[in-house]
Structure 1
Amino acid sequence: MPFALLKYGLRRRYRPVPDLPPEPDLKKRYDVVIIGGGGHGLATAYYLATVHGIRDVAVLEKGYLAGGNTARNTAIIRSNYLTPEGVAFYDESVRLFQGLSEEFDFNILYSERGHLTLAHTDAAIRTARWRAEVNKHLGVASEVIYPDEIARLAPNLNLSRDVRHPVLGALYHEPGAIARHDAVAWGYATGAARRGVSILQKTEVTGIVKDGDRAIGVETNRGRIEAGQIVQQVAGASTLLADMAGFRLPIRTVPLQACVSLPVKPFLDPIIVSGSLHVYISQTPRGELVMGGASDPYPLYGTRSTLDFKEGLMANMLELFPFLAEMKILRQWAGMTDMSPDFSPIMGETPIRNYWLDSGWGTWGFKATPVVGKRMAETVATGTVPELIRPFRLARFDDIELLGDKGAASVGH
């Protein structure tokens, strides 16, 4: 331990500064009420305060801060999607991520690793080429590479032809990165709270108060709160809140499981994904292997882990990295993903006036945190949906203008 740090910690007059100020008293009314204290809700509150000067904001979280899907993801950041709308949207998020540590004065452990989407079939190679061309057209670094180059980037990956699913090539996305998910949430929370935003934990919304077709407040386990505008950002429980507000969402909620190994000496720099094998893996700065796969095939509002997931994941993981056969799993978990029919999010207007929506994130929610916060804050502050997120409107399902990013989901769903 550095002597200066030890000296600072033992100093009598040392007074640690808490990340968050004490929780304020609950008021009867706020200009904006955000339902959901995860990354998206906290980022929206932060940008409302910092960019638009709107600080009379309450973030309502039924549990503890960022304890839902924000605490249950695998922290991969990328923008190598398939549709122009998706690529442009996530590219802005990547650029925002790159400056967050400096903006927060708080290290989010952002680490560019490169992202390899493996192709095991001729069809997968064609899709990789398609994605690469869309990406490059929009200024995003992606290219199709072949086994000799893959071996240089990931020398421990099994590239033998004598396997069930040999690797024929990969889509290489150089800006692919990982970050510390709870650091991102705490950075946004601290910045918002220090600017006057009220972050209220253990405050569960039990109903939406309406006057005709206009939302005017929420019912909570701590009483009624009036609101000028309401933003719903509750991944996993999106349909439940929408039902309270009086409209339906084309969303199915399913569990998505992941696991992490005991830490080992670093050997894997890029993020490895196989859509055919339904697996992905990255290594943290501490040496843990973070692994996941396909979402469960049945709807469920639960976050339990299953042996079936672990057995299926390990069988396919060992085809890519046979030497992991004796690796020990440290822990396993699940999150609740809200899947839309076209595998793209739903943001913006709802049938209820003054009630804004941010949902349908499936497995893509964490990587979109900064751009969602920035653009949803702009929507609330101006009353106008920005062009960047307009393609993701709820009304696209009525207009039959669906998006098609299922091919860029990286793992099967």
Structure 2
Amino acid sequence: MAPRTPGADLPEHPEWLWSSPEPKASYDAVIVGGGGHGLATAYYLAVNHGMTDIAVLEKGWLAGGNMARNTTIIRSNYLWDESAGLYEHSLKLWEGLEDELDYPLLFSQRGVLNLAHSLQDVRDSVRRVNANRLNGIDAEWLDPAQVAEVCPIIDTSEDLRYPVMGATWQPRAGIAKHDHVAWGFARALDRMGVDIVQNCEVTGFERVGDRIVGVETTRGPIRAGKVAMAAAGHSSVLADTLGLRLPVQSHPLQALVSELLEPVHPTVVMSNAVHVYVSQAHKGELVLGAGIDAYNSYSQRGAFHTIERQMAAAVELFPMFARAHVLRTWGGVVDVTPDASAIVGLTPFEGLYVNCGWGTGGFKATPGVGWCFAHTIANDGPHPLNAPFSLERFTTGALVDEHGASGVAH
């Protein structure tokens, strides 16, 4: 067989933006998970560290997990310094990523409102605005009249069950098209010679003592100098094959879209009290997300009552949406840690690295965590931005507790 020329004359159509090679017997590095984080990690390994003998292994189709099932909100207005640092780094990468990948990501910096509905919400929100400003992140506190100026379709009347008492506002925040992000990374990786192998489920690891030397897959064993896990909600399943218990629980997370509407919603609105977040996609459909289903599950669907509550919350904030029709609903599998922050770093096994525990905040971190995780893999040590998110913090107690500190869609 003639050698593959990476990206050579591939038609500009999604399924032809990258090749589908057979996996080789060995690679310098294998990344488990072909979602946004796995693709971004491979990309920055190649661009920043010169590693291109890499395979990205995806058990299904490219970006068919949480990458294609999220509500695409991008922001960096997190409370704690550690979270704010990582997400702000990511946002800065988002701001140049479309040009860097030379692919239309539909990145739209339309801003994000986080609503406050009680005096405690107001205190917490003003605290977060001040913390953001100390970290050099754009953040403002808006009163109800200013909220109405930014998003006139929000009901800001005072006689509501949860009246809008103000909101935090991050103008640089926004949304992007999740599929396009995956396709842009995949095309760039293919052109650099990185193998993207779909329908290749990792079922276990090859080890010599405490060193990981490869993976077992449904398409045969693959040797690797380094193995990186970026498998989101199924990270704990993979780790269990090594007897490694990750402090992660997996839950369904649901979202929905409406029929196509004329442009009516200019920004992204998030509310912790009524627990919904709403934006309008580029084509015109409303995109609505809610909180996680309470039970543990690896299924990509959730309970109907969650959708009912989500729609009721949206109508309470936006009465004009009462007559909109739901077009479709879907679910993803989110991985949640005890402190609601991610795990990015080394493991007790040499040559094995883990990136998981992002809960509902993984999409916005895509380029930033890819950058930092690639650094960790290439240097066998964490980047300063992901050093606080080590697995060891659950032993030392140095937690990064973001429970409710940064709005509904963490």
Whether 1:157 aligns to 2:154 is: yes
Measured against aligned partners, the alpha-carbon deviations of 1:375-401 in whole angstroms (never above 9, x if no partner) come to: 111111112211110000000000011
Cα 1:349–1:265 change in 2 (3 A) is same
Q: Which residue of 2 aligns with 1:55?
A: 52
In the alignment, what sits opposite 2:176?
A: 179
RMSD (Å) for aligned C-alpha atoms: 1.4
Q: Distance in 2 between matches of 1:251 and 1:105?
A: 36
Question: 1:99 and 2:96 equivalent?
Answer: yes
Are residues 1:399 and 2:391 paired? no
Contact 1:20-1:194 within 8 A present in 2 as well: no
Task: Out of 44-53 and 29-38, give the one that drifted further.
Answer: 44-53
Query: What's the counterpart of residue 340 of structure 2?
Result: 343
1:9 maps to what in 2?
Answer: none
Q: After superposition, where does 1:176-255 map in structure 2 within 5 Å?
A: 176-255=173-252
Q: Which residue of 1 aligns with 2:3?
A: none
Deviations 1:308-355 (A, max 9, x none): 122111211111111211110011000000000000000101111110
The Cα shift of 1:409 comes to: 4.4
- Alpha-carbon distance between aligned partners in 2 of 1:377 and 1:245, rounded to the nearest angstrom: 23
In structure 2, distance between residues paired with 1:86 and 1:363: 14
Equivalent of 1:377 in 374, 388, 394:
374
Alpha-carbon distance, 1:49 to partner:
1.2
Does 2:30 match 1:33?
A: yes
Q: For 1:15 and 1:336, how far apart are their aligned partners in 2? A: 33
Cα distance per residue 1:258-281 (max 9 Å; x no partner): 000011111111100100111110
How far does residue 24 in structure 1 lie from its aligned partner after superposition?
2.1
Alpha-carbon shift at residue 303 of structure 1 (Å): 1.1
SS in 2 for 1:294: strand
Select 2:69's aligned residue among 66, 72, 75. Answer: 72
Quick one: structure 1 residues 355 and 319, their matched pair in 2 at CA, closer, same or farther if it must change by over 3 Å?
same
Aligned equivalent of 2:139: 142
After the TM superposition, list the runs of 4 or more consecutive aligned residues in structure 1 that deviate by more than 4 angstroms: none
Query: Does residue 1:170 correspond to 2:167, yes or no?
Result: yes
C-alpha distance in 2 between matches for 1:22 and 1:282: 34
Q: Which amino acid aligns with 1:333?
A: W
Instruction: State the one-letter code of the partner of 2:109.
Output: E
Answering whether residue 319 of structure 2 is matched by residue 322 of structure 1, we say yes
For residues 39 and 180 of structure 1, the distance between their equivalents in structure 2, rounded to whole angstroms, comes to 12
Contact 2:341 2:358 survives alignment (8 Å): yes
Structure-1 residue corresponding to 2:384: 387
Moved more, 144-153 or 308-317: 308-317
Normalised TM-score (structure 2): 0.95
What's the secondary structure of 2:67's corresponding residue?
Answer: helix
Paired residue for 2:108, among 111, 128, 134? Answer: 111
Q: Distance in 2 between matches of 1:334 and 1:22?
A: 28
Check the 8 A contact 1:82/1:407 in 2, yes or no: no
C-alpha spacing 1:78/1:21, structure 2 compared with 1 (3 Å): closer
Of the three residues 280, 284, 287, the one matched with 1:287 is 284
CA distance in 1, matches of 2:394, 2:239: 16
State the distance in 1 between where 2:265 and 2:187 align: 33
Between 402-411 and 188-197, the greater mean CA deviation after superposition = 402-411
SS at match of 2:70: coil
On the 8 A contact 1:114/1:173 being kept in 2, the answer is: yes
Q: Distance in 2 between matches of 1:147 and 1:26?
A: 56
Quick one: which of 11, 17, 20 aligns to 1:16? 11
315-324 vs 105-114, greater mean Cα deviation: 315-324
CA distance, structure 2, for counterparts of residue 400 and residue 386 of structure 1: 20
SS in 1 for 2:11: coil
Contact 2:270 2:409 in 1 (8 A): no
Q: Partners in 2 of 1:166 and 1:410 — Cα distance?
A: 17
Q: Which residue of 2 aligns with 1:8?
A: none
